Amino acid sequence: MNLEAFSELAGGLDHPEGVTQGPDGRVYAGGEAGQIYAIAPDGTLEQIASTGGFIYGVATDGDGNVYACDFGRAEVSRIAPSGAIETYSKGTADHPLRVPNFAAFDDAGNLYVTDSGGWADDDGCVFRVAPGGSTILWSEAVPRFPNGCCLSAEGGWLYVIESHGRRVSRIPIRDDGSAGPPEVAVELPGCQPDGIAFAEDGTMFVGCYRPDRIYRIHPDGVPEVLVEDPDGVVLNQPTNVAFVGPKLDRLAVASLGGWSLMAADVGSTGLALRYPRL
């Protein structure tokens, strides 16, 4: 597809990395000084809070709370609709969060949080935060800078971007909630994948920080370059991706190198996110 298909969803954001749509139909994103943004369907931008940290991925629950992976505070912060901020998880006593990068809910309200660790150190991990904040170290088996993540449609797999591994891996979620041994879903050599979103039909869309590219990965596992921006002007260091709109028929892209969220019709309908009430 052509870059011209993308238009600005919202401008004036401070280098957004995370993007998601909440149950209220607003699009949420974060900024590098801890800003939490909400974009109304008519495009109105509101800063609802600032943690003072550096926001990576964001997720929302069924009550409108925002769960922000806050690198600056080394925690998952919870931001109420009122703007009140509290710590939701700092990891565990033995394994405190270092680089909380992205988070995704399951139906029961467990929040899976990637901790990327050090680039090229291959020491990343995944935490699971139960409703209320109780946290366990869930998996150390996808260590190569775990980044964006999402659950499969039926909820039996957690898909995780391993940015330094240049791939998407998937971890089975066993009946008892524990993590099974991971497997590689798709290799993406020659790039640095960052964010992931599923369409209803099982197609994956992956944003790449380097080069400035978005992949479409078909259900049979075959990847194709959906769009690329060699100048980094429209898609400027694309990171997280999310389906937005009343019909989830537009793919929103957060560009860490820029000041806006871009969006386009990519010919797919997004898989609905989970919004548990905790």
pLDDT in tens, 231-256: 999 999 999 999 999 999 999 999 99
Instruction: Let me know if residue 276 belongs to a domain.
Output: no
**Tokens 């197609």, residue located:** 203
Instruction: Let me know if residue 65 belongs to a domain.
Output: yes
For 135-184, how does the pLDDT look when each residue is reduced to its tens digit (9 = 90+)? Answer: 999 999 999 999 999 999 999 999 999 999 999 999 999 999 999 999 99
Instruction: Let me know if residue 273 belongs to a domain.
Output: no
pLDDT bracket for residue 39 (50, 70, 90): very high
Predicted pLDDT of residue 161: 98
Predicted pLDDT of residue 81: 97
Instruction: Let me know if residue 274 belongs to a domain.
Output: no
Instruction: Let me know if residue 3 belongs to a domain.
Output: no
Instruction: Let me know if residue 218 belongs to a domain.
Output: yes
pLDDT bracket for residue 133 (50, 70, 90): very high
CA 114 – CA 93 distance, rounded (Å): 17
Percent of the chain with pLDDT over 90: 100
Six-digit token pair at 196?
A: 């992931």
Instruction: Let me know if residue 272 belongs to a domain.
Output: no
Side-chain half-sphere of 67: how many Cα atoms within 13 Å?
Answer: 28
Predicted pLDDT of residue 96: 98
CB 23 within 8 A of CB 62: yes
Parent domain of 21: 9-264
pLDDT bracket for residue 13 (50, 70, 90): very high
Q: How many domains does the chain have?
A: 1
Instruction: Let me know if residue 1 belongs to a domain.
Output: no
Predicted pLDDT of residue 134: 98
CATH, residue 24: 2.120.10.30
For 191-218, how does the pLDDT look when each residue is reduced to its tens digit (9 = 90+)? Answer: 999 999 999 999 999 999 999 999 999 9
